[in-house]
A and B are shown apart, each in its own frame.
Chain A
Amino acid sequence: MSAGNSLTSRWSLRVLGLGYILLLLLLPLALIFYKTFEDGIAPPLDAITSPDGLHALKLTLIMVAIAVPLNTVFGVLCALLLVRHKWKGNVVIDAVINLPFAISPVVIGLSLFLLYGTTGWLEPGLAEAGIKVLFSVPGMVLASIFVSLPFVVRETVPVLQEIGTEQEQAASTLGANAWQTFWRVTLPAIRWGVAYGVVLTTARVLGEFGAVSVVSGSISGQTQTLPLFVEKQYQNFNLPGAFGASVLLALLALATLFAMNLLKRKEDA
């Protein structure tokens, strides 16, 4: 191929690809910050520090504090079983774990809504025990766990496969029990993969909208996470409020990207 020809095609690919990124990703990102701080920092700050805004932030953090640890422990356990313990059922487990990736958030929300709703299978028992799942925090936690379930498993499995078993075998030959082997050998070897999964899980829980919105009822100051707060503020024509919360979420998204990049480098190092 002639050099000139290849140079032209290289440049046209660059223009196409980078132009697409600019238009689709960078422009929106820049605009959030511009729109938010157009009239200074006070309006967005007021919105976030309003009682409802602060409550939404707190509730979002509660979602993270419950869903992320649960899915992390589950994810590591599940990855160990899938990779190190051959079992016929593994194929099924592996397939079920991927479901939350592909199912619409609204469908997830509706499923929980129907299971725990007034005509749901679990309603009699829950009502008797006085537990309210729908339109309250437990339902929102269940939705958050559902949507973010696959990440730790999916990130840990390849790392476990890659590190192999030699070091673990050496440890057990030297008399370590399985628990010691896990804490001293396996976990340190897979930690960046797990951490990467944790970052993805956290990002998903922080930003989840569809599934949580169906089960929460989005009651201001009660069952509103930050993404739900954004929608409500927009519907109430309080744009500074919507942008204030959006910028906070966008900053968290950027922190996520940064953490992902950092962890990937560590993992590769």
Chain B
Amino acid sequence: MAAHPASATAATAPRAGIRLPGVGAGLGRGIVVLYLSVLVLLPLAALTDQSLSEGFSHFWDQVTAPQAVRSLELTLIASLIVVAINGVFGTILAWLLVRDEFPGKSAVNAVIDLPFALPTIVASLILIQLWGPDSPFGIDIFATRTAVVVALLFVTLPFVVRAVQPLLIEMDREMEEAAASLGAGGFTIFRRIIFPNLLPGLAAGVALAFARALGEFGSLLLFAGGLPDTMVSSIYIRQQIESGNDTGAAAVSVVLLLASVLLLAAVSLIQRWGSGHERSQGAGLTTMPISGDQVLPHEHEEDDDERR
């Protein structure tokens, strides 16, 4: 399906706008392909090569080493818990930011991206102060599995909010009004009408948050303590590098890399499914709800008084 998005747009853009000058597209394409190959693909190829350098059985031994398996399990379970929680809260926050009015709304909208902008090591440091031995609330979760979950909740918060927000903004309210006039209650409307419409965004946001959680490193480094019990895979990899086991580090890295690729493929499929009939514009390119892509919505109604 990806091969002919061009036919979908053929009617609108037969001789499309700007062409790169001179030798143009060919040269530009060469630069882009070279840039990506040298900077991204070559290192990843070296990683894969190293992981298999002593044969597949050695690769498999490294991946199934007890501590490696333990770290992968913890990473997977913690990430699943985190995306479930942030899936719910992310949807609630998106709803508040699009459909509700309250003082300070634009500040809340801006602060959602904080985890994206704040360096992860700073997050780790501050989480220790807040929920560590010196906690002002007397809650000490330092170096526990709860700490892993809390740190991951922090770093993955923006994804679902930013993925769901645009869908809520675009959603046609007539359906909800029709359902309400037919006697449907708030929850029924949410379940039968709003939720199905938000599902593509929610799924894409959850998949991206999941990818982020699987690979997260900085925010866990200080706060999770690096005990065998709290060691996620990224920290395990770092530990293997430091103890000189490059192949073991590379093997677990390849597992994470495969998970990343699969999740990105899932996001791409979800987006095609989500945009389904109206794909003419996208021409098959992905859009990533990375961060802050939505400022406050232009609402269709007249009640956006104190916003600007």
Contacts and interface: CB of A to CB of B under 8 A. Distances in A.
Interface in B12-58: 13, 15-22, 24-25, 28-29, 31-33, 35-36, 39-44, 46-47, 49-50
A110 B116 contact: no
B288 interface: yes
Interface in A175-215: 177-179, 181-182, 185-186, 200, 203, 206-210, 213-214
- Highest count of chain A CB atoms <10 Å: which of B25, B49, B216, B295: B295
A157 B285 contact: yes
Interface in A158-184: 158, 161, 164-169, 172, 177-179, 181-182
- Highest count of chain B CB atoms <10 Å: which of A86, A90, A102, A210: A102
Interface in A234-263: 234, 242-243, 246, 249-250, 252-254, 256-258, 260-261
Interface residues of A, number: 117
Interface in B111-160: 111-123, 125-127, 129-130, 136, 153-154, 157
Interface of B: 2-3, 5-6, 13, 15-22, 24-25, 28-29, 31-33, 35-36, 39-44, 46-47, 49-50, 89, 92-93, 95-96, 100, 102, 106, 108, 110-123, 125-127, 129-130, 136, 153-154, 157, 180, 184-186, 189, 208, 211-212, 214-218, 221-222, 233-235, 237-238, 241, 246, 249-250, 253, 256-257, 260-261, 263-265, 267-268, 281-288, 290-295, 298
A22 to B, nearest CB: 10
B89 A209 contact: no
A252 B100 CA distance: 30
Contacts of B256: 103-104, 107
- Highest count of chain A CB atoms <10 Å: which of B153, B189, B215: B215
Contacts of A6: 186
Interface string A139-160: 0001001100111001001100
A16 interface: yes
A177 B282 CA distance: 27
Given A200-B291, A210-B120, A1 B185 contact: yes
Nearest to B185: A1
A203 B115 CA distance: 11
B168 to A, nearest CB: 13
A67 to B, nearest CB: 10
A268 B260 contact: no
A129 to B, nearest CB: 16
Interface of A: 1, 5-6, 9-10, 13-14, 16-18, 20-21, 24-29, 31-32, 35, 74, 77-78, 80-91, 93-108, 110-115, 117, 119-121, 142, 145-146, 149-151, 154, 157-158, 161, 164-169, 172, 177-179, 181-182, 185-186, 200, 203, 206-210, 213-214, 226-228, 230-231, 234, 242-243, 246, 249-250, 252-254, 256-258, 260-261, 264-265, 268
Nearest to B6: A86
A149 B110 CA distance: 23
Given A115-B43, A178-B24, A246 B126 contact: yes
A227 B114 contact: no
Contacts of B16: 84, 165
A110 to B, nearest CB: 5
Per DSSP, chain A at the interface is helix
23 contacts: A28-B130, A31-B136, A84-B18, A89-B33, A93-B33, A93-B36, A96-B40, A98-B286, A99-B261, A103-B260, A110-B237, A145-B39, A154-B288, A154-B290, A169-B17, A177-B21, A209-B221, A210-B217, A214-B238, A249-B119, A260-B110, A260-B117, A264-B293
A186 B18 contact: yes
Per DSSP, chain B at the interface is helix
A145 B21 CA distance: 26
B118 A84 contact: no
Contacts of A250: 118, 122
A158 to B, nearest CB: 6
Contacts of A21: 93, 108, 111-112
Given A98-B264, A115-B42, A88 B3 contact: yes
Contacts of B46: 111, 114-115, 120-121
B202 to A, nearest CB: 15
B117 A106 contact: no
A258 B113 CA distance: 10
A28 B123 contact: yes
Given A111-B44, A115-B42, A29 B18 contact: no
Nearest to A228: B121
Contacts of A100: 40
